[in-house]
Structure 1
Amino acid sequence: MTTFRTLDRETLKDGEGTLALSEAPTMTNSMEDLSRSPSVETLEEPDWPRSWRAYACLLGCFFLMFNSWGLVNAYGTWSSYYVGHSLRGVDQLELNLIGSTQSFIVLLLSNVVGRLLDAGHSRKVIGCGTFLVPFGLFMLSVVHPSDFEALGNFGTIWATQGLVVGLGMGTFFVSSSQVASTWFPKRRGLAVGYVACGASVAGVIYPSMLRFLIQSVGFNNAVRYVATLTSVTCIYSFIFCTPDPAHEHHEPKSWGKLRTWFDTEAFQNKAWCWFTAAVAFMFFGFYPIFFNLEEATVRGFGTRSRTGVSISNTETTNVPLQTFWLLVIMNGASTIGRMLLAHFSDKIGALNMHIGSQFVASLLTLILWTLAGTESEAIAFCVVFGVFSGIVIGLPPASIGNILNCSYTAPGTTHFAKKKLGHWTGMMYTFAAIPALAGPVIAGHLITQYKTYITVQMWSGSTLMLSCICMVISRWHLPCANGEHAKAEFVRRLSKADTSEKGKLGDATPEALSQAPTRVPSRAPSRQVSCEYLDTPERMV
């Protein structure tokens, strides 16, 4: 029978820069925990931390996600304003490039940020973002033209909103989930789920603020109000987002070595490799939905070619902003999905939940979004897809934790599942950076090339389905709940079914022989008893 291969000390001893055991002193903290006599504290950790600092940190991590992916989720409303005002007539590819640059930088820096957090530099990392995000937004309000009908410069808008704000957001993303996880070791999925709600809540607040403030005080002042809210929440996060003091950090011997930044053990883990590919395909198609939702869902402005409306706009108009509530509804429904993630991922398995949610999200995009043409249909899509999108985008850190827990199961190596969480999660997101940049840009080019939004709908749905397939393959390389490899479990069940069928056929022959007239009593075991004994699972090979 195939058994699941665990990573033992022999496979880890040469991993320089990857939490190698050879770098540890003779008696490490983790080894001491295994050898010393158990106490009340070591036998049972509380399900919920008793310190107020844990919950203050959880709220701060919520704000970190609020000001990272929350701003990306809200970019659809910014894009709707640009396409009708300061960047009217600009190719949809360029409009999507601003938002995709933000997501690209956030993901690209994930590995670096995760490694710095593992080394204990959370204050410096979060401090950089606390300055850059508000500063980039305030600078956007300066470089953007104040005249209602004036055309803006795409380069300066991209540099402030896409580059500077994106750099600040990149320090927040991995920090939010990793710092919160240190306080909630037994409720990691729940903590990550609550933190992930920050992105969807921001996706409700920021578009609503922009929509109504633009009409009352103008775009530049609206951006300044948004920057003020961002500043307050960032400062709170900087003060309270600190890891649990009991959490162990790993400072590498040399920051200049490649293996300090890339844990080579991850590349030997097939489940991690396939899941990384799944996340890459997910970002190929996920954010084109958010960036183009307001124009591509309801007939009227820039919708599919069946309406005969031009994709680009040459005159000033507020029409694109009239569908901002679609993005608000989707992000609001996403909050429900993230809460479901928080409550059920620890019970049914994060990766199992991820596979099911990804499959449903891809079908909704391929079928429901392409058919949505009326307001009621658009609302239905935004609500249902929003629920599953919240699960899909919030689960990767918990799924990586699931993979780590299944990989490091040998005695003396289980503590690596916690120590390497930030590193493996960061590497996963870094490899998804290029797809996150290219996906919305490709979708924008398809819209411009074919003058129809059906292209972005099919592109997003197809890439999400490919992501689901990669997740299934990743799950195939992990053990089941009983510790047996998924492949071995599948083969065993098939063998058991075949054996039971053969057993039924074999039972008929001894029964018939026992009724023969020439049968005489004997002290030897009967054929029937022998057959039944041989068919028991204990004797099966």
Structure 2
Amino acid sequence: MHDLETDSEKAVRPESDFDGEIERDLADVRSPIPGTKPGDATILEDAGPPDGGTTAWIVVLGAWCCSFSSPGWINSVGSFQEYYEVGPLKEYSSSTIAWIPSLQLFFLFALGPVVGIIFDNYGPRPLIIGGTLFHVFGLMMASLAKTYYQFLLSQGVCTLACVSTWFSKKRGTAMGVMVTGSSVGGVIFPIMISRMIKSTGYPWAMRTAAFLILGLQIIAIFTVRPRIKPVPKKMPVGRFAAPFTELPFAMLLLGIFVLTYGIFIPIDYLAVQGLEEAHMSEEMSQYLVSIFNGASLFGRLASGYGADRIGRWNMFIIACSLSGIAEFAVWIPAKHSSIAIGFAIMFGFVSGAFIGLSGALPVSVSPLPEIGYRLGVVFLAISIPALTMAPIGGAILQNSTNGWLNVKVFGGVMCLAGSAIILISRLLYTEKKLLKVF
């Protein structure tokens, strides 16, 4: 049995009555080899994650479609911020407009704990079907929007844990491949939307995106499934509070919370900063978002591969620290188009690990029956800064004499501070072993 567990999973197995439930759940897939004596070790029929194979990679394909459709769409929010500011909502302030993409991010992550519990008990299919209906409906309603509150409600409000059960040693690589979908979506959506707005208008641009997402989600509905069929079970009430009372996991939540500000501020304001401060053309500033996401694709693949070699936590901390350094070293002086493009490439590459591995961290230190819930709690920690970071950035921009400088410094500080807090969490999990592969 011990061969099926990573060191990190052993270190954080909860010492509570809930262990009995974990063992009973795993007992469903155990059976002794015929002819063995009563005292012999129990052998598992289930040999654990296959780390590959046709079925496993088909699951990755379906998850990739989900990644393209949802995070890929979210990665395009910077282009909408710039479009609204120079287009239908030009009479509103940057801070006010920023609530639209912020609400998209908030509702993507805020329901994480509820979604996680549903996943733990019923698997991914009902979630994918429900999410598809809401996302497509929201985009269709956005295509009819003409006023601020309509944009806010339709695009803001209505708008990956399966893979981890199929992979162990190659989990970082598999999740890195999966989240490249959001990078590809982040490249395609801004270009497609900006070009279609000019050629066919905003309504049909949104409808086309909705139809594309619907097609990909249908693929996901039929391909994404967990390796072991979930069995509905009631989680003890005390376990709901456990992620907040365990110091290492609480530090992980705090670190992710702080990091979200540092990572998403540049994503949300890339296009606007390029247009206003770097004096780029409107069309070229829109391409900054696609350039960022194109570089992020390679960053996510590289971080996934690196995570399998040096550890997911180590890779995550290094990449997020480099993201903060990039904001200080490259984004601050990005007052010319060439430097702004260079920052989009550099930041896209190093920050790819945030999306690529932020889900892998809680998965690696969570009890098996709680993976969905704890992953959802991490997403909840992301949702609050996701809701407030763009309006905060807009307020800093409007109420400061050094507007863009202060926005950039704010993003860099939050990146480095969040990385330091995650490092503390990692040290607590590894008993202060700095060089351990974790």
Per the normalisation by structure 1, the TM-score is: 0.72
Counterpart Cα distance in 2 of 1:375 and 1:488? 40
- 2:365 is paired with a residue whose SS is helix
Counterpart Cα distance in 1 of 2:394 and 2:303? 31
Task: Kindly report which structure 2 residues correspond to 1:223-372, keeping only aligned pairs within 5 A, or say none.
Answer: 223-244=206-227, 247=228, 249-253=230-234, 258-259=237-238, 262-264=240-242, 266-297=243-274, 301-303=275-277, 320-372=282-334
Q: Which of structures 1 and 2 has the bigger CA Rg?
A: 1
Cα distance change, pair 275–249 in 1 and its aligned pair in 2 (3 A) = same
Paired residue type of 1:28: A
- 2:329 is paired with a residue whose SS is helix
Task: Kindly report which structure 2 residues correspond to 1:394-405, keeping only aligned pairs within 5 A, or say none.
Answer: 394-404=356-366
Report how far residue 431 of structure 1 moved: 2.4
Report how far residue 263 of structure 1 moved: 5.0
Q: Could you say which residue in structure 2 is the equivalent of 1:162?
A: 156
Counterpart Cα distance in 2 of 1:82 and 1:342? 35
Cα distance change, pair 138–31 in 1 and its aligned pair in 2 (3 A) = same
Cα distance change, pair 154–271 in 1 and its aligned pair in 2 (3 A) = same
Counterpart Cα distance in 2 of 1:224 and 1:22? 47
Counterpart Cα distance in 1 of 2:342 and 2:383? 31
Q: Could you say which residue in structure 2 is the equivalent of 1:216?
A: 199
Cα distance change, pair 23–84 in 1 and its aligned pair in 2 (3 A) = closer
Cα distance change, pair 134–26 in 1 and its aligned pair in 2 (3 A) = closer
Q: Could you say which residue in structure 2 is the equivalent of 1:206?
A: 189
Alignment pair present for 1:486 and 2:432:
yes
Paired residue type of 1:184: F
Paired residue type of 1:76: G
Counterpart Cα distance in 2 of 1:385 and 1:7? 33
Cα distance change, pair 426–319 in 1 and its aligned pair in 2 (3 A) = same
Paired residue type of 1:303: E
Query: For each residue in 1:80-100, what CA deviation from the matched residue of structure 2 results, as whole angstroms up to 9, or x when unmatched?
Result: 111111000211112211111
Query: For each residue in 1:56-94, what CA deviation from the matched residue of structure 2 results, as whole angstroms up to 9, or x when unmatched?
Result: 221111111112211111011112111111000211112
Query: For each residue in 1:203-231, what CA deviation from the matched residue of structure 2 results, as whole angstroms up to 9, or x when unmatched?
Result: 10000101211221122111111111111
Q: Could you say which residue in structure 2 is the equivalent of 1:96?
A: 98
Paired residue type of 2:75: N
Alignment pair present for 1:123 and 2:69:
no
Alignment pair present for 1:63 and 2:65:
yes
Paired residue type of 2:295: A
Cα distance change, pair 120–381 in 1 and its aligned pair in 2 (3 A) = same
Query: For each residue in 1:356-384, what CA deviation from the matched residue of structure 2 results, as whole angstroms up to 9, or x when unmatched?
Result: 11111001112210101122211211111
Q: Could you say which residue in structure 2 is the equivalent of 1:391?
A: 353
Task: Kindly report which structure 2 residues correspond to 1:15-164, keeping only aligned pairs within 5 A, or say none.
Answer: 15=18, 20-21=19-20, 28-29=27-28, 37-38=42-43, 46-49=50-53, 52-144=54-146, 153-164=147-158
Counterpart Cα distance in 2 of 1:122 and 1:243? 8
Report how far residue 434 of structure 1 moved: 1.3
Counterpart Cα distance in 1 of 2:289 and 2:13? 48
Counterpart Cα distance in 1 of 2:48 and 2:356? 28
Q: Could you say which residue in structure 1 is the equivalent of 2:339?
A: 377
Paired residue type of 2:407: V
Report how far residue 327 of structure 1 moved: 1.0
Between the two proteins, what is the percent identity of the paired residues? 25
Paired residue type of 2:375: T
Report how far residue 189 of structure 1 moved: 1.3
Segments of 5+ residues of structure 2 without an aligned counterpart are: 1-7, 34-39
Alignment pair present for 1:12 and 2:16:
yes
Counterpart Cα distance in 1 of 2:269 and 2:26? 56
Cα distance change, pair 399–117 in 1 and its aligned pair in 2 (3 A) = same
CA contact (8 A) 1:134 1:228 kept: yes
Per the normalisation by structure 2, the TM-score is: 0.88
Counterpart Cα distance in 2 of 1:489 and 1:366? 27
Counterpart Cα distance in 2 of 1:28 and 1:94? 54
Counterpart Cα distance in 2 of 1:326 and 1:25? 52
Counterpart Cα distance in 2 of 1:277 and 1:33? 44
Query: For each residue in 1:312-342, what CA deviation from the matched residue of structure 2 results, as whole angstroms up to 9, or x when unmatched?
Result: xxxxxx9544411111111000000100122
Counterpart Cα distance in 1 of 2:249 and 2:424? 10
Query: For each residue in 1:257-308, what CA deviation from the matched residue of structure 2 results, as whole angstroms up to 9, or x when unmatched?
Result: 7546x252x33432211111111001123222111111213xxx4328xx8x
CA contact (8 A) 1:349 1:402 kept: no
Query: For each residue in 1:135-167, what CA deviation from the matched residue of structure 2 results, as whole angstroms up to 9, or x when unmatched?
Result: 1111111123xxxxxxxx1101010000011xx
CA contact (8 A) 2:123 2:229 kept: no
Provide the alpha-carbon RMSD of the alignment.
2.8
Counterpart Cα distance in 1 of 2:195 and 2:312? 38
- 2:143 is paired with a residue whose SS is helix
CA contact (8 A) 2:164 2:363 kept: no
